[in-house]
């Protein structure tokens, strides 16, 4: 009996709190904007204050984004001018943009490889394939570290040791960032 009540509480409590917060915010916004909306549109239009509040928040976010973008570019130009630090920053930024989907990505193919020992597997990204002078096929695999995926290991692995996984890049990154707490519904065959 207590468990059934507890389950019902778990389902209804977040929903009830969410509805109450939305009602409070909508009522407060309606009363704040009432002097303006009553004159322009007419009285007693529920939710109009919330719509205006959302528009104002969006506008402020848009303007602050532009301001942050300008400040960010200025700071970035300053960092890039430092000899060693600038190169590290640019490389880390390129990796972060590729991994997060901010630019055309080489991190679309999720793979597993034996790493750091033969008996274990690491999840990584196949960034490139090539054939060496001896006509052997290799892949370059980036293994991101947990929980900060902008650092990691770069491996050159024979293609025969690489298993392509049925996992999207966002799923793999979520798994890496959470330290394996969040994994795709089905990991499937991870390889050898």
Task: Give residue-wise pLDDT tens across range 35-49.
Answer: 777 777 777 777 777
Would 38 be classed as within a structural domain?
Answer: yes
pLDDT band (50, 70, 90) for residue 100: low
Count the alpha carbons within 13 Å of 56 in the hemisphere toward its beta carbon: 9
Structure tokens at 128: 């490139």
Q: Which structural domain, as residue segments, surrounds residue 13?
A: 2-79
What does the pLDDT read at residue 192? Answer: 57
User: Taking 60 as the threshold, does the pLDDT of residue 103 lie above it?
Assistant: no
Percent of the chain past pLDDT 90, that is, above it, reads: 6
Distance CA 44, CA 37 (A): 9
Please indicate, yes or no, whether residues 116 and 75 belong to a single structural domain of this protein. Answer: no
Please give the residue that has the higher pLDDT: either 64 or 120.
120
Cα–Cα nearest to 167, from 180, 184, 182: 184
Helix (H, G, I), strand (E, B) or coil at 79: helix
Mean pLDDT of the chain: 78
Structure tokens at 36: 């303006």
Please indicate, yes or no, whether residues 72 and 109 belong to a single structural domain of this protein. Answer: no
Give me the helices (H) in the chain, please: 2-40, 48-80, 83-100, 169-177
With 0-12 CB in 10 A as exposed, 13-18 as middle and 19+ as buried, what is 89?
Answer: middle
Please indicate, yes or no, whether residues 29 and 63 belong to a single structural domain of this protein. Answer: yes
What does the pLDDT read at residue 169? Answer: 81
Interval 28-57 mean pLDDT: 78
How do residues 110-163 score in pLDDT, each as one tens digit?
Answer: 898 998 888 888 888 898 888 888 889 999 999 988 877 777 889 999 999 998
What does the pLDDT read at residue 137? Answer: 92
Please indicate, yes or no, whether residues 109 and 75 belong to a single structural domain of this protein. Answer: no
Query: Which CATH number belongs to the domain containing residue 158 in this structure?
Result: 2.30.30
Would 9 be classed as within a structural domain?
Answer: yes
Interval 57-81 mean pLDDT: 75
- 86-93: Cβ within 8 A, 24+ apart: 92/150, 92/151
Please give the residue that has the higher pLDDT: either 88 or 106.
88
What does the pLDDT read at residue 45? Answer: 72
Interval 65-91 mean pLDDT: 75
Distance CA 28, CA 71 (A): 34
Please indicate, yes or no, whether residues 161 and 126 belong to a single structural domain of this protein. Answer: yes
Would 154 be classed as within a structural domain?
Answer: yes
């Amino acid at each position: 009996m207590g468990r059934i009540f507890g389950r019902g509480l778990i389902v209804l409590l977040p929903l009830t709190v969410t509805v109450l917060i939305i009602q409070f915010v909508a009522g407060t916004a309606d009363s704040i904007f009432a002097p303006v909306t009553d004159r322009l549109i007419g009285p007693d239009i529920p939710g109009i204050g919330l719509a205006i509040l959302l528009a104002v928040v969006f506008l402020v976010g848009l303007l602050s984004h532009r301001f942050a973008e300008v400040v960010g570019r200025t700071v970035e130009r300053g960092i890039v001018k430092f000899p060693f630090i600038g190169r590290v920053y640019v490389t880390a930024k390129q990796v972060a943009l590729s991994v997060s989907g901010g630019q055309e990505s080489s991190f679309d193919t999720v793979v597993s490889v034996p790493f750091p020992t033969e008996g274990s597997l690491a999840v990584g990204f196949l960034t490139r394939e090539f054939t060496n002078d001896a006509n052997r096929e290799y892949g370059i695999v980036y293994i991101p570290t947990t929980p900060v995926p902008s650092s990691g290991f770069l491996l050159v692995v024979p293609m025969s040791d690489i298993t392509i996984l049925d996992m999207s890049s966002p799923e793999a990154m979520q798994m890496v960032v959470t330290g394996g707490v969040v994994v795709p519904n089905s990991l499937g065959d991870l390889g050898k």
